Structure 1
Amino acid sequence: MKALVLAGGSGTRLRPITHTSAKQLVPVANKPVLFYGLEAIAAAGIREIGIVVGDTQAEIEAAVGDGFALGLQVTYIRQQAPLGLAHAVLIARDYLGDDDFVMYLGDNFIVGGINDIVDRFAQERPAAHIMLTQVGDPQQFGVAELDARGRVVGLEEKPPNPKSDLALVGVYLFTPAIHEAVAELKPSWRGELEITDAIQWLIADGQWVESTVISGYWKDTGNVTDMLEVNRLVLESLDARTDGTVDGASQLIGRVVVEASAVVERSRIVGPAIIGAGARILDSYIGPFTSIAADCTISGSEIEYSIVLPRSSISGVSRIEASLIGHDVEVTPAPNTPRAHRLVLGDHSKVQISS
């Protein structure tokens, strides 16, 4: 079995961060969200992975490389434009050959991995097996309709009047039967080849489409709110560790990770939180559910429930919360500070905040 990982989307819901960064590489607990998916695939015993890339191909390749460090064999497949999930399958036809495969969306986060569903698919071999979860806003997702036996009888992409609240999670398993379905598709009203239409084609053709409704945690990390929530969840599983330098005037409370070469001086850090390699935390408060990436500097400031990407600095700011701050950002004081700041800043930003 192979895997097809989609990492070519433009990430419009995470702008301005994704104007300069691939959305799949935005870190959760200081590790790109894409890597959690690759690790889940490797844990399921799949070694051959095709990664579908777009305009951020160079950035994705620089981060993942040939996959050797993760125990994978990675092939990159260029998608000239984001023309739909089924289009990704279409352009990967030569790579996939006649193998069964898992299709995994690179910005999805699933707790518990995919081992069980991969094993079940290998034993039963339906034409397709989809993962579903209950959502409160099914209009925003691909939605499945099940019959009384739990079999999939219909699918719709972002329907205005959903027939259920069961949304497709970004993991699909297919036999080579999907290639015939994809070849028959026409672009949808969105101008894309929809994977929901391809699976509906299989159903109409009388082929078996199975589903699993997952009760565990799943997030599409496509917006800031979900990204911060996933960061919170991952940080809650941290084991405290101090590999860097923490002076005697500082306090580490709870599950706090201080990576090698990081420095904490005269500061209070309340976990779960992670301080990346080479970061400097000076005269500051770092609150729960905060990830400070490598080579950042936080001085004379307070921040919690936030993600700060590499090489950014925050100096003299009284309070930041629920924020996602990009690479190489500078945040400094300006007059008339409010009690709290909420920021979504793109890479290389410079922001003045009153203090």
Structure 2
Amino acid sequence: MKALVLAGGSGTRLRPITHTSSKQLVPVANKPILFYGLESIAAAGITDVGVIVGSTAAEIEAAVGDGAAFGLNVTYIPQSEPLGLAHAVLIAEPFLGDDDFVMYLGDNFVLDGITDVVEEFREAPHAAQVLLTRVKNPTAFGVAITDDKGNVLELEEKPAAPRGDLAVAGVYFFKAAVHEAVRAIRPSARGELEITDALQWMIDQGMAVCSTVITGYWKDTGNVTDMLEVNRTLLERLQPSVDGYVDDESEIIGRVRVEAGAEVRRSRIVGPAIIGAGSVVSDSYVGPSTSVAEDCRITHSEIEYSIVLRESSFDHIRRVAASLVGRNVRVTLAPGPPATHRLVIGDHGHVELSS
């Protein structure tokens, strides 16, 4: 069995962060979201992985390499432009051949992994299997209609009037029959080859498509709100440790990881939180559900429920919450009345805030 990981999207919902960085490499709990998917694939015993890459190919390849760090053998498959999930399967056929495979969207997060479903599909007679999850906003997803045995009867892509709340999560399992399906369908009104159309074609041809409803935690991290939520969930599982320096005037409360080379001086850190290697927090408060990446500077500032990417700094800022801050960002004080700030700042930005 092989894996096909999609890492070629443009990430428009995460702009301005993704103007200069791949959305799949935005970190949660100080690890790129893509890495969690690759680790899940490796844990399921799959080693041969094709990675679909687009305009951010160089960044993805630099981060993932040949896959050896994950116990994988990675092959990169260029996609000239994002023309749909089924198009990714179409261009990956030379790599996939006749093997069964799992298709995993690189910006999706499945907390409990996919090992059990992989084992189930290896022995299954059906042509495809999809992961489903109940959502509050089914119009934003592909929606599946199933029978009482979990067989998929019909699929709709982002329906205006959905007939159910079971959304197709970003993990799919296929046998080789899918290659005929993606060749048979035509682009949708969005101009893309939709994987829901390919699955519907398989159903219409009498092929069995079954489903597994996720009972654990799943998120599509395509927007800031969901990214922060995944970060919070992962930090709640954090194993606390202090490998860096914490002075006697500082207070560490709850699940906190201070990585080697980090420094905490005259500050209060309330977990779950992580302070990345080389970062310095001084005279500051870092609150729950916050990830501070490598080589950051937090000085005379307050920040909570946020993600701060590497080499960024806050100087005399109170208070920042529910924010995603890019790489090499400087946030400094400007005159004005106190306020709470919510920030989404692109890489290399410089923002002045009243405090």
- Offset at residue 137 of structure 1 (A): 0.7
- Offset at residue 260 of structure 1 (A): 0.7
- 1:162-311 to structure 2, matched below 5 A, reads 162-311=162-311
Structure 2 distance, partners of 1:60, 1:354, is 37
Matched position secondary structure for 1:197: helix
Determine the structure 2 residue equivalent to 1:78: 78
Query: What are the ranges of 5 or more consecutive residues in structure 1 without an aligned counterpart?
Result: none
Determine the structure 1 residue equivalent to 2:17: 17
Matched position secondary structure for 1:172: strand
Matched position secondary structure for 2:123: helix
CA distances 1:13-70 after superposition (whole Å, capped 9, x unpaired): 0000000010000000000000000000000000000000000000000100001011
CA distances 1:224-269 after superposition (whole Å, capped 9, x unpaired): 0000000000000011101111111111111110001101100000
CA distances 1:192-222 after superposition (whole Å, capped 9, x unpaired): 0000000000000000101011111100000
Displaced runs of 4 or more, over 3 A: none
Matched position secondary structure for 1:69: helix
Structure 2 distance, partners of 1:242, 1:284, is 17
Matched position secondary structure for 1:333: strand
Partner AA of 1:209 in structure 2:
V
Give me the TM-score of the superposition, normalised by structure 2.
Answer: 0.99
Matched position secondary structure for 1:231: helix
CA contact (8 A) 1:337 1:353 kept: no
Matched position secondary structure for 1:212: strand
- Offset at residue 159 of structure 1 (A): 0.7
Partner AA of 1:346 in structure 2:
G
Partner AA of 1:22 in structure 2:
S
- 1:98-177 to structure 2, matched below 5 A, reads 98-177=98-177
- Offset at residue 125 of structure 1 (A): 3.3
Determine the structure 2 residue equivalent to 1:96: 96
Matched position secondary structure for 1:9: coil
CA contact (8 A) 2:339 2:354 kept: no
Give me the TM-score of the superposition, normalised by structure 1.
Answer: 0.99
CA contact (8 A) 1:269 1:287 kept: yes
Structure 2 distance, partners of 1:174, 1:266, is 55
CA contact (8 A) 1:100 1:176 kept: yes
CA contact (8 A) 1:87 1:192 kept: yes
Query: How many residue pairs were aligned?
Result: 355
Determine the structure 2 residue equivalent to 1:320: 320
CA contact (8 A) 1:125 1:175 kept: no
CA contact (8 A) 1:332 1:353 kept: yes
Identity among equivalent pairs (%)? 66
Matched position secondary structure for 1:294: coil
CA contact (8 A) 2:83 2:193 kept: yes
CA contact (8 A) 2:24 2:107 kept: yes
- Offset at residue 126 of structure 1 (A): 1.1
Task: Identify which range, 74-83 or 139-148, moves more after superposition.
Answer: 139-148
